[in-house]
Chains A and B, each alone.
Chain A
């Protein structure tokens, strides 16, 4: 035993003291060992995650099926109860009334609510079953949630920006403002910059740089718009003031087309 130990020590001393020409076979052997160990580690990690993934998929599938069944049940029930016909009388002219029928809307909402519930339960199951000592998932999952929230913020911001840009464009064109497109673009970028900053802030990226950049950009856009509107509408304001002075004291009952000149008193649209 002592001899063996001495021989091993000797070998290790020899190995460290002078380089020995490497044997190809032993290198391949070592590499194969290392790969095998990595593969084993990945496999064991995968085996540890697999129940979680399975639980996630099962939860999604089960709630998806429940959603389909519930949606179909609601659709049939509400159609039998003639909900659409009852509600059709009270829908009015509101622009925010949904275009689809209330029955279809309720059925669709119930389906997607089930899917959302399945997702939440699936993620919780995944989290519970993947109970390893590593801190990565506990850091990654909340961050992924933040990324999703930031994406929602960006999408909502883009939708609002498009809506406001169109509103401003149509309103400005109908007021015959020559810089209508510029104004609309300004509003669009204001909202987009705001949404992007909020998303970045939510992701905790950039820190003070984002705040500073936002302040500069937002202020810059507002100043540019103010200058453009101020300079561009000088004539409009002076015309309006002149008209006001001319007609002061008079009550004009003529509906006008827009800021028109000679046709106001002559044309009645309604």
Chain B
């Protein structure tokens, strides 16, 4: 269990009044529902639980599987691959309506989480923690957008060691849920309820306590393809970073690393993925998108990309410092609207694929994937001065 201490003074809720735990489920198949119900009833007393589901449970599973549970219906949302603004708003409204003490939000694949994991997440938010985040034990080549962009950016800018900032299963205290619902309202009022929110960033800015729990291996919900998912994730993240600029520009020290997390530092023994398609995508982009990249990236980064475009597949590796600089420059271009934001995020995809190819090469050479991801995050931290400086004085000379 890892604790991120509050970054500013905040009241610590010692006793939380209310009915119990509200468990908000995503839309699920009957099998998934049965597994989740079995895990929940194994972990909690039925009278302490309020289950909210968008599915008509009585039509999906036999009554004996849930007879002791209190079931309420949740509004049906568009099926999404992550938790969205509308989900957080619904969660808070349901918790208020049912006078719940805390909320557990579970994804469609949460049946793969063991009951101890659910218990830890729920107990934390029922006690004093505001945000309980799972730390999944994923295969070496899974969650790569998270490893390449979300985790390093959140760690360097918000001084948080939460390994999965966009986790699909969460535990929320009532005040954390209210904070997220307030943030969600900004989107739902303009019909953007499907935008993902950033609970870790919100909690850090509000000075709430965050805890991370080892939940073991987990099946990830299916998502759209990379060309869709990368702009969908990076756009809202960049937007959130832009909105919280006043917070992250101040220096904050990173909490100490927690060794109890399941992140393996052993070399990967899995088969090596074929990086040729990624390299060809990067090289094709280098010949075609150079003009667009030159609007966003400084000459030094372009030179690094030029070298990279001529490197052969076996030695291909994007330096961590170059990747950190690229992401920061794209973030700056997003802020200043150097080019259309859709174009900008589209132009990031081949660069990300180049990073993935390098990451696979490194892990194939015997380096533990987690060690490389830590090196990337450290490069982001080391280069934080650059983003702060260019954020404040964008017109300064930048070689």
Is there an interface contact between A255 and B347, defined as CB atoms closer than 8 Å? no
A142 vs B356: C-alpha distance when bound (angstroms): 60
A181 vs B290: C-alpha distance when bound (angstroms): 12
User: Which B residue sits closest to A176, measured CB to CB?
Assistant: B281
Contacts of B189 in A (CB 8 A): 90
User: Which A residue sits closest to B339, measured CB to CB?
Assistant: A166
Chain A 92-133 interface 0/1 with B at a Cβ cutoff of 8 Å (1 = within): 111100010000000000000000000000000000000000
Q: Given known contacts A173-B289, A263-B277, is B227 in contact with A93 (CB within 8 Å)?
A: no
Is there an interface contact between A256 and B292, defined as CB atoms closer than 8 Å? no
CB of B264, distance to nearest CB on chain A (Å): 17
Contacts of B284 in A (CB 8 A): 173, 176, 178, 180
Residue from A94, A99, A255 within 8 A of B224 (CB atoms): A255
Is there an interface contact between B141 and A170, defined as CB atoms closer than 8 Å? no
**B392 is an interface residue with CB less than 8 A from chain A:** no
Contacts of A255 in B (CB 8 A): 222-226, 229
**A213 is an interface residue with CB less than 8 A from chain B:** no
CB of B75, distance to nearest CB on chain A (Å): 20
User: Which B residue sits closest to A262, measured CB to CB?
Assistant: B274
Q: Given known contacts A171-B346, A174-B346, is B227 in contact with A258 (CB within 8 Å)?
A: yes
Is there an interface contact between A94 and B192, defined as CB atoms closer than 8 Å? yes
Q: Given known contacts A176-B280, A262-B273, is B190 in contact with A269 (CB within 8 Å)?
A: no
Contacts of A270 in B (CB 8 A): 81, 143-146, 220, 223, 229, 233
Contacts of B337 in A (CB 8 A): 99
> For the complex, would chain A's binding face be called helix, strand, loop or mixed by DSSP majority?
loop
Contacts of B63 in A (CB 8 A): none
A92 vs B199: C-alpha distance when bound (angstroms): 16
A266 vs B271: C-alpha distance when bound (angstroms): 9
Contacts of B341 in A (CB 8 A): 95
Is there an interface contact between A174 and B350, defined as CB atoms closer than 8 Å? yes
Contacts of A90 in B (CB 8 A): 186, 189-190
Contacts of A254 in B (CB 8 A): 222
Is there an interface contact between B285 and A263, defined as CB atoms closer than 8 Å? no
**B336 is an interface residue with CB less than 8 A from chain A:** yes
Residues 157-190 of A contacting B (Cβ, < 8 Å): 163, 166-167, 169-171, 173-176, 178, 180-181
User: Which A residue sits closest to B357, measured CB to CB?
Assistant: A263
**A261 is an interface residue with CB less than 8 A from chain B:** yes
Contacts of A134 in B (CB 8 A): none
Q: Given known contacts A170-B347, A171-B346, is B227 in contact with A268 (CB within 8 Å)?
A: no
Determine which residue in B288, B339, B341, B350 has the highest number of CB atoms from chain A within 10 A of its CB, and name it: B288
Q: Given known contacts A90-B189, A253-B222, is B350 in contact with A173 (CB within 8 Å)?
A: yes
**A257 is an interface residue with CB less than 8 A from chain B:** yes
Residue from A89, A263, A268 within 8 A of B274 (CB atoms): A263
A166 vs B345: C-alpha distance when bound (angstroms): 12
Chain B 267-291 interface 0/1 with A at a Cβ cutoff of 8 Å (1 = within): 0001101111110110011011100
**B297 is an interface residue with CB less than 8 A from chain A:** no
Q: Given known contacts A92-B190, A266-B141, is B288 in contact with A180 (CB within 8 Å)?
A: yes
A140 vs B162: C-alpha distance when bound (angstroms): 70
A175 vs B226: C-alpha distance when bound (angstroms): 11
**B304 is an interface residue with CB less than 8 A from chain A:** no
Is there an interface contact between B144 and A174, defined as CB atoms closer than 8 Å? no
**A17 is an interface residue with CB less than 8 A from chain B:** no
Is there an interface contact between A93 and B235, defined as CB atoms closer than 8 Å? yes
**A259 is an interface residue with CB less than 8 A from chain B:** yes
CB of B372, distance to nearest CB on chain A (Å): 15
CB of B181, distance to nearest CB on chain A (Å): 13
A116 vs B155: C-alpha distance when bound (angstroms): 50
**A267 is an interface residue with CB less than 8 A from chain B:** yes
A180 vs B281: C-alpha distance when bound (angstroms): 12
Residue from A167, A176, A263 within 8 A of B343 (CB atoms): A167
A178 vs B287: C-alpha distance when bound (angstroms): 10
A181 vs B186: C-alpha distance when bound (angstroms): 39
Residues 181-229 of B contacting A (Cβ, < 8 Å): 185-187, 189-190, 192, 195, 220, 222-227, 229
Q: Given known contacts A92-B187, A257-B278, is B141 in contact with A173 (CB within 8 Å)?
A: no
Q: Given known contacts A266-B271, A268-B220, is B139 in contact with A95 (CB within 8 Å)?
A: no
A263 vs B359: C-alpha distance when bound (angstroms): 13
Is there an interface contact between A268 and B224, defined as CB atoms closer than 8 Å? no
**A2 is an interface residue with CB less than 8 A from chain B:** no
Contacts of A178 in B (CB 8 A): 284
Is there an interface contact between A170 and B289, defined as CB atoms closer than 8 Å? yes
Return 28 A-B CB contacts under 8 Å, by A number: A89-B185, A90-B189, A91-B186, A92-B195, A93-B192, A93-B235, A94-B190, A170-B292, A170-B343, A173-B285, A173-B350, A174-B285, A178-B284, A180-B284, A256-B225, A257-B225, A257-B277, A257-B356, A258-B349, A260-B278, A261-B274, A261-B276, A262-B277, A267-B360, A268-B220, A269-B229, A270-B146, A270-B233
State the 8 A-B residue pairs at the shortest beta-carbon distance, nearest first: A260-B277, A262-B274, A253-B222, A170-B346, A268-B142, A266-B273, A263-B273, A92-B192
What residues of chain B have their CB less than 8 Å away from a CB belonging to chain A? 81, 138-139, 141-146, 185-187, 189-190, 192, 195, 220, 222-227, 229-230, 233, 235-236, 239, 243, 270-271, 273-278, 280-281, 284-285, 287-289, 292, 336-337, 339-343, 346-347, 349-350, 353, 356, 360
Given A89-B186, A269-B229, 20 more contacts at CB 8 Å? A89-B185, A92-B195, A93-B187, A93-B239, A99-B336, A169-B292, A174-B285, A180-B288, A255-B224, A257-B278, A257-B281, A260-B278, A262-B273, A263-B274, A263-B275, A266-B270, A266-B271, A266-B274, A267-B273, A270-B143
